[in-house]
Amino acid sequence: MGVPVQCFFFVLVFGLAFKVRGNECDFFTGTWEVDDSYPLYHPATCPFIEREFRCQPNGRPDLIYTHYRWHPLSCNLPRFNGVDFLEKMRGKSIMFVGDSLSRNQWQSLTCMLHSAVPDSNYTLDRVGDVSIFTFTEYRVKVMLDRNVYLVDVVKEKIGRVLKLNSIEGSKLWEGIDTLIFNTWHWWSRRGPTQPWDYVQVGNQRLKDIDRMEAFEIALKTWAAWVDANVDPTKVKVFFQGISPSHYNGSLWNEPSARSCVRQKTPVPGSVYPGGLPPAVAVLKNVLRTIKKPVTLLDITTLSLLRKDGHPSIYGLTGAAGMDCSHWCLPGVPDTWNEILYNLI
């Protein structure tokens, strides 16, 4: 009888010590719990969610995956308040920069905000590669700049050149109040969907390069841009961490699973058996070298636990496809935004 009581006190004392020692809460270590006050919005209130992420209207029958709330171990994550967010951001702009995982998080945030003020007018425009969702009453712009590598791909006579040291695309980021960057998923692309023919490092043109090395060089180019151009009194910079995929059940102790299809529940507990993708360490090492404040939305582990959160056969191509990379909406990116809200 004595042992459990001692354990209880140990956990209590350790928990308190942890809370007092850290000034800031670690939002990124925790567990998923069912909470029927979630999701934060219904797909029907967000007519602008793209088919790619609209799992329920696409026929996904199970809905428990929409009812999970992220519960950090050492503190509570205050619930998202859309009106408060819009008031704090009044007159300001927020821009996601990156690939389709940025689009996933951008669509999630526009839904979370719109469903908080459903009678407030909005406009949705597109200018080149930038999509702009404006909450007109609040003069808040929530934008997406589609830019899969952050560094440039330039069409030249010899073909399309991925220039790891060039970041001219950054012109679109000037004057934005909050920037949330992301790049990773396109670095491993080969074959017909690889959008470049040569890669340039300094003055050297190569047919190919180690992809993890290329990723690191590009991140350093981006880091140098941040140090040279961001005024931290005016601009908040975030990096959306590596969003994981689920195509190999061995990594969550279910070796027969070859994808995320029919996964209905998260991995229990707060540890993912398969560990972190190697790109996370590369990213963290580069972030450590930046002198300006950049906050990492370290969403990899919490998302790794959500093998149930992907569209699978309820995504863009339906049963013909298998999407275990993007996330259903409502779903996991809502939690990324709930954490973002608490960090802004």
Ligand X SMILES: *[C@@H]1O[C@H](CO)[C@@H](O)[C@H](O)[C@H]1NC(C)=O
Q: Which spans of this chain sit near ligand X (rule: CB under 6 A)?
A: 120-121, 137, 248, 250-251
Establish whether 166 is a catalytic residue: no
Nearer to ligand X, 203 or 256 (CB): 256
Nearer to ligand X, 91 or 128 (CB): 91
Q: How far is the CB of 255 from ligand X (least distance, A)?
A: 8
Nearer to ligand X, 250 or 285 (CB): 250
Tokens of 278: 């190697």
Q: Which candidate in 170, 323, 325, 334 is catalytic? A: 323
Q: Which candidate in 100, 131, 312, 325 is catalytic? A: 100
Nearer to ligand X, 90 or 155 (CB): 90
Distances in whole angstroms, Cα of residue 251 to Cα of each of 11, 38, 70, 186, 324? 29, 28, 21, 22, 14
Across-strand partners of 179?
95, 237
Buried/exposed 131-152: b ≥16 CB within 10 Å, e otherwise? bbbbbeebebbbbbbbbbbbbb
Q: How far is the CB of 135 from ligand X (least distance, A)?
A: 10
Nearer to ligand X, 37 or 256 (CB): 256
d(CA 150, CA 218): 7
d(CA 196, CA 126): 25
Q: How far is the CB of 258 from ligand X (least distance, A)?
A: 8
Nearer to ligand X, 250 or 289 (CB): 250
Q: What backbone torsions phi and psi does residue 321 show, to the nearest 5 degrees?
A: -115, 180
Q: How many CA atoms lie within 13 A of 205 on its CB side?
A: 10
Strand pairing category for 152-156 and 178-181: unpaired
- Tokens 């959306």 appear where? 240
In a 3-state reduction of DSSP, which class is residue 239? strand
In a 3-state reduction of DSSP, which class is residue 120? coil
Contact 300, 243 (CB under 8 A): yes
Q: Which candidate in 170, 246, 326, 334 is catalytic? A: 326
Establish whether 326 is a catalytic residue: yes
Establish whether 177 is a catalytic residue: no
Measured distance between the N- and C-terminal CA atoms of the chain, rounded to whole angstroms: 46
Show which residues are catalytic: 100, 323, 326
